[in-house]
Amino acid sequence: MRVSVSGASSLREDVRARAGALGLHGWVRLMDDGTVSAHVEGAPAAVDELVAWLRGKATADAFSERMVRVEGHEQFAVRGVPAGVFVVQEHQATAHHFDLRLELDGVMRSWAVPRGPSMDPAAKRLAVQVDDHELAHNQFEGPTGSGGVIIWDRGSYEQGGRVPWPEALERGHAVFVLHGQKLRGGFALQRTGRGAKPQWLLIKRRDEHARPGSDIVAERPESVQSGLTLGEVIDGG
């Protein structure tokens, strides 16, 4: 059942607590228009109980409900809450690549993306998992001995998907929403190979931020910190 009510954002935590007590799975999210949207699945009697409780929270004209397809969630999560920061650093080393880093449990989980991220859902970009980095490294921009680094994009991110994190990463399929200056909306990381350096694919999800046919790394080469390109940073060093 998909339910929408208008209400204070504190309603999200109440919904999550009550859904948890009823053994329901799904999510609750504060929408841009101020309404609270909840996706609830589980035992019909429990779903009915939660929906009835939510109906009691809303005035008659501010409540809607409709049946939707089961999404197969394994938890009941509050969506739309930043899970931490993300950064993408363009890095010229032996090989040129972009490092995507997501904050998780106090470190930055990292993937080297040779061709860089894309806003085109049809572009599946190889992303090689590399060592975790310290959060302090997110601030680094400058020449290095053999090349250089620029902060190509940064912002906050939300964890999504049906499986809670970090389990989603351990299983090899993680969905997340980026709130960057260049990268926005839903993305997925799908593991395709294990080993010392596991291979993944980074894929833009189809949403209102997707831009089919676009080439964001060519369109926006500049650092979000200095405005300089990687070449200018290296030459300036």
Binding residues for Mn ion, per CB under 5 A?
91, 99
| Sheet strands (E) in the chain | 2-6, 25-30, 35-41, 63-66, 76-79, 84-92, 96-104, 107-113, 124-133, 142-143, 148-159, 173-180, 184-193, 199-204
Nearer to Mn ion, 58 or 149 (CB): 149
- Give the nearest distance from C-beta 94 to Mn ion in angstroms: 10
> In this complex, which beta carbon is closest to Mn ion, that of residue 16 or of residue 97?
97
Cα Rg of the chain (Å, integer): 20
State the minimum distance, in angstroms, from the CB of residue 96 to Mn ion: 10
Nearer Cβ to Mn ion, position 96 or 171? Answer: 96
Interatomic CA distance for residues 130 and 115, integer angstroms:
16
Min dist CB 75 to Mn ion, Å, is: 33
For residues 37 and 223, which CB has a smaller minimum distance to Mn ion in the complex? 223
Q: How far is CA 9 from the centre of its chain?
A: 21
Q: How far is the CB of 91 from Mn ion (least distance, A)?
A: 4
Whichever of 36 and 183 has its CB closer to Mn ion, that residue is 183
The CB-of-132 to Mn ion minimum distance in angstroms stands at 13
Residue 149 Cβ vs Mn ion, minimum distance, rounded to whole Å:
8
Given the complex with Mn ion, which of 12 and 91 has the nearer CB atom?
91
C-beta pairs of 203-211 under 8 Å, 24+ apart in sequence: 203/121, 203/123, 203/124, 203/125, 204/117, 204/118, 204/119, 204/120, 204/121, 204/123, 205/121, 205/175, 206/121, 209/119, 209/184, 209/185, 210/119, 210/120, 210/121, 210/185, 211/119, 211/120
Structure tokens given for 206: 């189809």
Number of residue whose CB is nearest Mn ion: 91
Contact yes or no for 205/167 (Cβ under 8 A): no
